[in-house]
Amino acid sequence: DIRGFIFDLDGVLTDTAEYHYLAWQKLADEEGLPFSRDANEALRGVSRRESLLYIVGDRKYSEAQLQEMMDRKNRYYVESIQNISPQDLLPGVVTLLDELKQAGIKIALGSASKNARTVIEKLGIANRIDAIADGYSVQRPKPAPDLFLYAAKQLGLEPAQSVVVEDAEAGIEAALAGGMWAIGLGPASRVGAAHIVLPSLAGVHWSDLHAKLNE
């Protein structure tokens, strides 16, 4: 039986992707590296270091320079998320969190971000979350299952008792690799491998998900 839900943050609970994009674009412009909104799509759910390496491409930088650029991008990002509020929760999130709590289902966060705690506090949902797996929790990023396995363990659950909600292809891969149920948000071209594919969480109810996962 399903006893826990693990929610990705960016693209699932809120849309911080735009802020990540603007911060990377500013850095890329300063460095004279080609980058665009289109290219940013490839960074969905991708860790800070992997994102930077993708933007840098063939250009040679020392480890110290890479570190400085990651720090700089993060400063821009942290500055830009200061005004996040509960209004920035994506449609359907509050309803689903309420229904899950009502059903006695535990909630974890499974985000690649090192800023995840700050963001959920600003969103006003920190008190609804039973466990946090974030950018500090494990070494190997998604599509490795480590982050979600860590989250399930924190909840005291087996992978098969856990449902992962993700918007990134690497996140769905990670959930399936971990032996969990996967709900993908977005186009099938991206999250089609999930057990359930939905456009977003708007109008989504636990009773419907429960029925589909038990089919």
Instruction: Note the helical H segments in 4-62.
Output: 17-31, 37-40, 48-56
Closest to ligand B16 by CB, 6 or 112: 112
Contact range with ligand B16 by CB under 6 A, out of 28-36, 37-45, 90-98, 172-180: 37-45
In angstroms, what is the minimal distance from the CB of 166 to ligand B16? Answer: 8
In angstroms, what is the minimal distance from the CB of 134 to ligand B16? Answer: 8
Residue 212 annotated in ligand binding: no
Closest to Mg ion by CB, 103 or 175: 175
DSSP letter for 139, please.
Answer: S
* Bridge partners for 5 per DSSP: 107, 163
The 10 Å Cβ neighbour count of residue 15 is: 14
In angstroms, what is the minimal distance from the CB of 135 to ligand B16? Answer: 4
Q: Which helix (H) or strand (E) holds 185?
A: strand 181-185
**Encoding tokens for residue 198?**
């939905």
Closest to Mg ion by CB, 10 or 173: 10
Site string for Mg ion, 112-151 (x = CB under 5 A): ----------------------------------------
Site string for ligand B16, 59-98 (x = CB under 6 A): ---------------x------------------------
Q: Is 197 helix (H, G, I), strand (E, B) or coil?
A: strand
- Residues in Cβ contact with 191 at an 8 Å cutoff, skipping those fewer than 6 apart: 166, 167, 168, 169, 172, 184, 185, 197
The residue written with tokens 């509960």 in the block is: 86
Q: Max alpha carbon distance in the chain (Å)?
A: 53
Interface with Mg ion, residue 8, by CB under 5 A: yes
Site string for ligand B16, 135-164 (x = CB under 6 A): x-----------------------------
DSSP letter for 189, please.
Answer: H
Do 29 and 72 touch, CB atoms closer than 8 A? no
Interface with ligand B16, residue 25, by CB under 6 A: no
**Residues taking part in catalysis:** 8, 10
| Residue ranges that bind Mg ion, judged by CB under 5 A | 8, 10-11, 45, 167-168
Q: List residues forming the annotated binding site for Mg(2+).
A: 8, 10, 166-167
